Amino acid sequence: MLSVGSQRRAAPFQYNRVPTIQNLSGSKSMRHDFNQLEPVRPQTRILQAVVIAIVGVTFLLQSGDADAEQPNIVFILADDLGYGELGCYGQTKIRTPNLDRLASQGMRWMQHYTGAPVCAPARCTLMTGQHLGHAEIRSNRKAVNKRQFPGEWPITDGIVTIAESLKDAGYATGAFGKWGLGNAESSGSPNRQGFDRFYGYLSQRNAHSYYPPYLNSDAEEVTLNDPPVPGHLRKPEGEVKADDYRGQVYAPDRILEEAVEWLDKNKEGPFFLYLPFIEPHVSLQPPQEWIDQYPQEWDEEHGAYRGQNGYLPHPRPRAAYAAMISDLDEHVGTILDRLDQHGLSENTIVIFTSDNGPTHPRNDDRWEVGGAATKFFASSGGLKGFKGSCYEGGLRMPCIVRWPGQVKPGSTSEMVSYMPDWFPTLAKIGGAKLPVNQQLDGIDLTPELKGEGTPQRDEPLVWEFAGYGGIIAIRDGDWKAVRRDVKTKSPKKWELYNLANDRSESTNVATSHPEIIQRLETRYRANRTVEPDFPQPLFDPPSGVSENN
């Protein structure tokens, strides 16, 4: 493992195999040795045997079928990481030793899907167990507040999250990274949605910079960089220097420090640690020592990226993009090492996946958005599409699950699964109750995890994405239908693919199978509700007309 941090410009922390973090921000130097943190007395956990009302929603009495000792749960969510960007999923250029090790110790899911092709709705499906035909958030959308940033539209108090269910079952709950489901003053605040502790970016737009003005510590805005580095600039002429776009405190390291400190304090368990890390989402601002690990030759073809496709310039965009993924991998390694040091690995299930596909192209075809080199790295893993697309490249994600004693090391699963499945799965594992009055679209994956058989899915996978012109996708068995531009004046016709023999979606067979298109559209209509905040004119009934009429 590379030792990073020794040459990082203005980086706040320093990592070794036994993590030590050094805060270099400002004039005060503060050093924390994780092994010297004072132990925190474990909280007494009261196992509840009655029906508890949380924000007005009643739970079923379904706990008691978990193992006698509730396992800890660590859920790591990468940001814009493609299906083909890890070594264990076929990547040959980018180094990901920690995630490759995790895969060798657990199960790789080969047909695991996100709940949405962009950030906020994907996170909504994870937290609520609902697909995009039922979810409250169906695209990135601005909230009505002083900043007007996209990705801040809040989930409501009436929804129940997996964090609330696990907290009710006795879990300590912490989230560290990018939230995107509501600001501190809104109903969607993580502290109002089941998390005891939050540290990171509440707003997705703030997360466009790795040197932001502040991060949120629960409801408080904690200054990080003064002045901050904005997430969007251009450099039309002159030399592009990476240091011009670096600040005082590198936010991913600060977030990691808070996460590890929280883990230390809650090591007696059980705990639910949610880590929605922000890499490799652009802007390209990774630590220099990771950039230096990759060949200069990669960037000789096109030279510096000047910001013409948005976000920030960078002198070595291909190396920088690889560096972001390697830095993410190092952060995962820090968490895994910390579990080992506390003797927690054997009783902890670790899940790693991504919120959506890799960064997509834009105007200048030499680079993708923000200078990301996703075509150069074949980031979609041979699948069609990128982030923002409901083709496989935008939806099919790497997914790794390690659960010692339960999941066979080095195994793979071809079961079709997706983000809403994690709510019932984690509730089952943690002995948590499921909400009575909330539609859950996922199924329990534990039989597949434990090698006890593949559970049956009775309903299709549904995506009703309200962004990028509106896209509908349905997967039922091997058949997948896609319809684009459904919110425009000229909606496209249905496309149909048989993924059993066409995983790259290269051959549209819709005209040969109109009966399958009709069946899938009927199933889609039966598996959706009207969401007034994200209208779907092509499929919503006229105003005042019931869907059942």
Q: How is residue 253 written in tokens?
A: 């390291």
123 versus 31: the higher-pLDDT residue is 123
Q: Report residue 535 CA to chain centroid gap.
A: 25
Residues of the chain with CATH 3.30.1120.10: 469-526
Q: Find the mean pLDDT for residues 374-379.
A: 97
Q: Find the mean pLDDT for residues 328-350.
A: 99
What pTM was estimated for this model as a whole? 0.88
Q: How is residue 173 written in tokens?
A: 């709950």
Smallest CA-to-CA distance from 175 within 216, 229, 120 is with 216
Per-residue confidence (pLDDT) for residue 511, from 0 to 100: 98
CA distances for 204 relative to 117, 152, 173, 274, angstroms: 15, 7, 21, 16
Q: Find the mean pLDDT for residues 161-190.
A: 97
Residue 4 has pLDDT above 60, yes or no: no
- What is the Cα–Cα distance from 482 to 473, expressed in whole angstroms? 4
Angle formed by the axes of helices 317-341 and 251-265, to 10°? 10
3-state SS class at 484? strand
Most confident range (mean pLDDT) of 50-54, 364-368, 381-385 is: 381-385
Tell me the pLDDT band of 542, cut-offs 50, 70 and 90: confident
Q: Are the C-beta atoms of 91 and 100 separated by less than 8 Å?
A: no
Q: Find the mean pLDDT for residues 74-101.
A: 99
Q: Find the mean pLDDT for residues 272-288.
A: 98
411 versus 543: the higher-pLDDT residue is 411
Per-residue confidence (pLDDT) for residue 262, from 0 to 100: 99
Residue 2 has pLDDT above 50, yes or no: no
Apex CA 142: angle with CA 125 and CA 231, to 5°? 95
Per-residue confidence (pLDDT) for residue 36, from 0 to 100: 33
Q: Tell me which CATH code domain 20-40+53-288+324-364+375-449 carries.
A: 3.40.720.10
Give the length of the chain.
549
- What is the Cα–Cα distance from 345 to 336, expressed in whole angstroms? 8
Per-residue confidence (pLDDT) for residue 18, from 0 to 100: 28
The pLDDT tens digits of the residues spanning 111-166 come to: 999 999 999 999 999 999 999 999 999 999 877 655 545 557 899 999 999 999 99
The pLDDT tens digits of the residues spanning 203-246 come to: 888 999 999 999 999 999 999 999 999 999 999 999 999 999 99
Beta bridge partners, 214, equal: 223
Residue 26 has pLDDT above 50, yes or no: no
Alpha helix (H) residue ranges in 396-485? 422-430, 446-449
Residues of the chain with CATH 3.40.720.10: 20-40+53-288+324-364+375-449
Q: Find the mean pLDDT for residues 82-94.
A: 99
542 versus 220: the higher-pLDDT residue is 220
Tell me the pLDDT band of 330, cut-offs 50, 70 and 90: very high
Domain 469-526, architecture per CATH:
2-Layer Sandwich (3.30)
Euclidean distance between the first and the last CA atom of the chain, given in angstroms as a whole number: 62
Local structure of residue 114 (DSSP, 8 states)? -
Pick the range with the lowest mean pLDDT from 16-25, 261-270, 482-491. 16-25
Residue 61 has pLDDT above 50, yes or no: no
Q: Find the mean pLDDT for residues 72-79.
A: 99
Exposed / middle / buried, residue 32 (Cβ in 10 Å: 0-12, 13-18, 19+): middle
Q: What is the average pLDDT score of the chain?
A: 88
Q: Find the mean pLDDT for residues 343-358.
A: 98
Per-residue confidence (pLDDT) for residue 127, from 0 to 100: 99
Per-residue confidence (pLDDT) for residue 265, from 0 to 100: 98
- What is the Cα–Cα distance from 410 to 395, expressed in whole angstroms? 24
- What is the Cα–Cα distance from 486 to 25, expressed in whole angstroms? 48
Residue 31 has pLDDT above 60, yes or no: no
Residue 13 has pLDDT above 60, yes or no: no
